[in-house]
A and B are shown apart, each in its own frame.
Chain A
Amino acid sequence: MNDENHGPPIAIKGLRKSFGEQKVLNGITLQVERGETVAVLGRSGGGKSVLLKLIIRLQNPDAGSIAIAGREIAGLEEKELNEVRKTVGFLFQQAALYDSLTVKENVRFPLSRHTQMPREEQEQRVRELLADVGMDQDLEKMPSQLSGGMKKRVGLARALALEPEILLFDEPTAGLDPITAEEIGKLILELKQKRQRSAIVVTHDVHGAKGYSDRMVVLHEGNILAEGSFDELQGSKDEFVSQFFGYGSKE
């Protein structure tokens, strides 16, 4: 990353967030180590996506601290915050591709803004990134011409464009057929194994997460209810966790 990299990639302490009367996160503490992939599981509307957005300050927490590579992000000015954001790749739930730009332009967008690469080099890098996710045949297509799975792949290529040290995935396999979901899962695993990226993956897909995560965290009513490996959590005596993993096993 850079010289200021003195701590774990992500360290969250006592994070709280409410929307009006509704408490979404109620004092979350979570640390992600270098090269580790953590899957965050929980019911819909349980604050998982909010947690990801808080990590790069797309929303502001009510209390608690978030440090990226040892750097507390709460008090950062916009310029400093953007430096931190460049080290984090974010894959959004619906991919959030810019619908006025082509596939190629979407992936080039961060490169053209944050690097001094000549245009030809940018084009080359875009092709490589899209080839890695199997989308190098669709460079000139508009997002509206892509299926859900294709959008996720392009979103992943865009998230990787600046070679971030940390990756945040918001339901990367939601709404996809099992085959495409498995392919996306393999890509996440590949990122971990080949590039040693740290990642948080928010998902409902318990079995998919088993394949690529080192650790699973179950979020319930704003708190971390349980954490551990798939096998540990599957054997949990907690009613909610066993119910959650029970349903997951049947899927």
Chain B
Amino acid sequence: MVVYLTIFIFAAAISGALAGGRGGFRLTVPKHLMVSVFEWFGEMGIFCKRLLRSALVPPYEFGELLRQCDEVGSKSLPLVALAGAATGVVLSLETHDSLARFGAKSLLPAVIVFSIIKESGPTITALIVSGRVGAGIGAQLGSMKVTEQIDAMEASAVAPYKFLVATRVLACVLMLPLLTLASEFCGIFMGWITNTLSEPISLRLFLENGFKNMLFSDFIPPTLKTMVFGLIIGLVSCFQGMRTRGGTEGVGRSATSSVVLSSLFVVLADVLLVRLILTIWG
């Protein structure tokens, strides 16, 4: 497990260093690559410190936070709902046959509900949001950086870390659980539709069977872990955007690296959080 995680962190950091905008592939010079990896984590630490210092001091940017919540939440909703619905359909089709072979078809609602709520809902939502929102944030902040808009903001005595970064990170943290709930709702509903097309069952019975053995501790931790996913997506994509260099090419690199890195770190965090949740709640 530890070896796997170490390899994973290393792989993530390498791709971050390569995509992070310092330009050029350095695979031929492993020493420089190592330096880039440590540099990335070091700069990320400084970035987080600066963000905290700026975000905790009033006045707070509530107007911009609302705008970002709309940007991250409302505008991601159709995509997330669609992905959730597709997951529900696929789960229902795949597990129906598998369970039928073992004579356990009556467990289908529970399998759909448990797998959507405990794992596929949060993870798929986070990956969809990291693709849509992560790329958007990376490209937007990157473009603002190379066209001196961020300098202009600082020159106007407005803290860009508070106005641009803190609002985006917080919006991701707040919206991810809500989007996850929407995705899970669509997944379970479409799971029922798919199931009922082959073997009619009322929605009420489907839900009763599905949620019969579900505890509060099965539902809350997986939903709340998406806040960590939101934090990762917001932090990584803002960081990649804010360190953009090199014109439009740099903006493209920032958008790509925002998606790649936030997705990688979401999957990595998922491994750790699932282990943690199982340790605490069994």
Which size class do B's interface residues fall under? 10 to 19
Residues on A with beta carbons closer than 8 Å to the beta carbon of B54? 78
Which residues 122-158 in B have Cβ within 8 Å of A in the complex?
A: 140, 143-144, 147-149, 151-158
Say yes or no for A99: interface residue by CB 8 A criterion: yes
CB contacts between A and B, total, < 8 Å:
53
B155 touches A97 (CB 8 A): no
Residues on A with beta carbons closer than 8 Å to the beta carbon of B155? 56, 58, 85, 88, 90, 92
Question: Which residue of chain A has the shortest Cβ distance to B153 in the bound complex?
Answer: A98
Question: Which residue of chain A has the shortest Cβ distance to B152 in the bound complex?
Answer: A96
Which residues 94-140 in A have Cβ within 8 Å of B in the complex?
A: 94, 96-100, 109-110, 113-114
Residues on A with beta carbons closer than 8 Å to the beta carbon of B154? 56, 58, 85
B147 touches A96 (CB 8 A): yes
A99 touches B149 (CB 8 A): yes
A78 touches B159 (CB 8 A): yes
B156 touches A113 (CB 8 A): yes
Contact of A98 among B149, B157, B159 (CB under 8 A): B149
In this complex, how many residues of chain A approach chain B with their Cβ under 8 Å: the count is 24
Minimum CB–CB distance for B28 against chain A, Å:
21
Which residues 134-169 in A have Cβ within 8 Å of B in the complex?
A: 158
Minimum CB–CB distance for B85 against chain A, Å:
31
Complex CA gap A88/B155 in Å reads 8
B151 touches A109 (CB 8 A): no
A114 touches B148 (CB 8 A): no
Minimum CB–CB distance for B269 against chain A, Å:
30
Question: Which residue of chain A has the shortest Cβ distance to B156 in the bound complex?
Answer: A110
A58 touches B149 (CB 8 A): no
A96 touches B157 (CB 8 A): no
Say yes or no for A71: interface residue by CB 8 A criterion: no
A96 touches B148 (CB 8 A): yes
Minimum CB–CB distance for A51 against chain B, Å:
14
Given contacts A78-B54, A94-B147, A96-B147, is CB(A114)–CB(B152) below 8 Å? no
Residues on B with beta carbons closer than 8 Å to the beta carbon of A97? 149, 152
Say yes or no for A29: interface residue by CB 8 A criterion: no
Residues on A with beta carbons closer than 8 Å to the beta carbon of B143? 99
Minimum CB–CB distance for B169 against chain A, Å:
18
Say yes or no for A93: interface residue by CB 8 A criterion: yes
Kindly name the residue among B140, B147, B153, B155 whose own CB sees the greatest number of chain A CB atoms within 10 A.
Answer: B155
A92 touches B151 (CB 8 A): yes
Minimum CB–CB distance for B49 against chain A, Å:
13
Contact of A94 among B148, B157, B158 (CB under 8 A): B148
Say yes or no for A183: interface residue by CB 8 A criterion: no
Complex CA gap A134/B158 in Å reads 26
Residues on A with beta carbons closer than 8 Å to the beta carbon of B158? 109-110, 113
Minimum CB–CB distance for B177 against chain A, Å:
27
Complex CA gap A132/B8 in Å reads 58
> B149-175 interface mask toward A, CB cutoff 8 Å, 1 = contact, 0 = none?
101111111110000000000000000
A96 touches B149 (CB 8 A): yes
B157 touches A90 (CB 8 A): no
A96 touches B151 (CB 8 A): yes
Residues on A with beta carbons closer than 8 Å to the beta carbon of B159? 78, 82
A93 touches B156 (CB 8 A): no
Minimum CB–CB distance for B97 against chain A, Å:
49
Complex CA gap A85/B160 in Å reads 14
Question: Which residue of chain B has the shortest Cβ distance to A49 in the bound complex?
Answer: B148
Complex CA gap A242/B147 in Å reads 34
Say yes or no for A62: interface residue by CB 8 A criterion: no
- Which residues from chain B sit less than 8 Å from chain A, CB to CB? 54, 57, 140, 143-144, 147-149, 151-159
With A83-B157, A92-B151, A94-B147 known, 20 other A-B pairs at CB within 8 A are A56-B155, A58-B151, A78-B54, A78-B159, A82-B157, A85-B156, A85-B157, A90-B152, A92-B148, A93-B148, A94-B148, A96-B151, A96-B152, A98-B149, A99-B147, A109-B156, A113-B156, A113-B157, A113-B158, A114-B157
Q: Can you spell out 28 A-B residue pairs with CB atoms less than 8 angstroms apart? A: A53-B151, A56-B154, A58-B155, A82-B159, A85-B154, A85-B155, A90-B152, A90-B155, A92-B148, A92-B151, A92-B155, A94-B148, A96-B147, A96-B148, A96-B152, A98-B144, A98-B149, A98-B152, A98-B153, A99-B143, A99-B147, A99-B149, A109-B158, A110-B157, A113-B156, A113-B157, A113-B158, A114-B157
5 closest residue pairs by CB, A with B: A82-B157, A96-B152, A96-B148, A90-B155, A85-B157
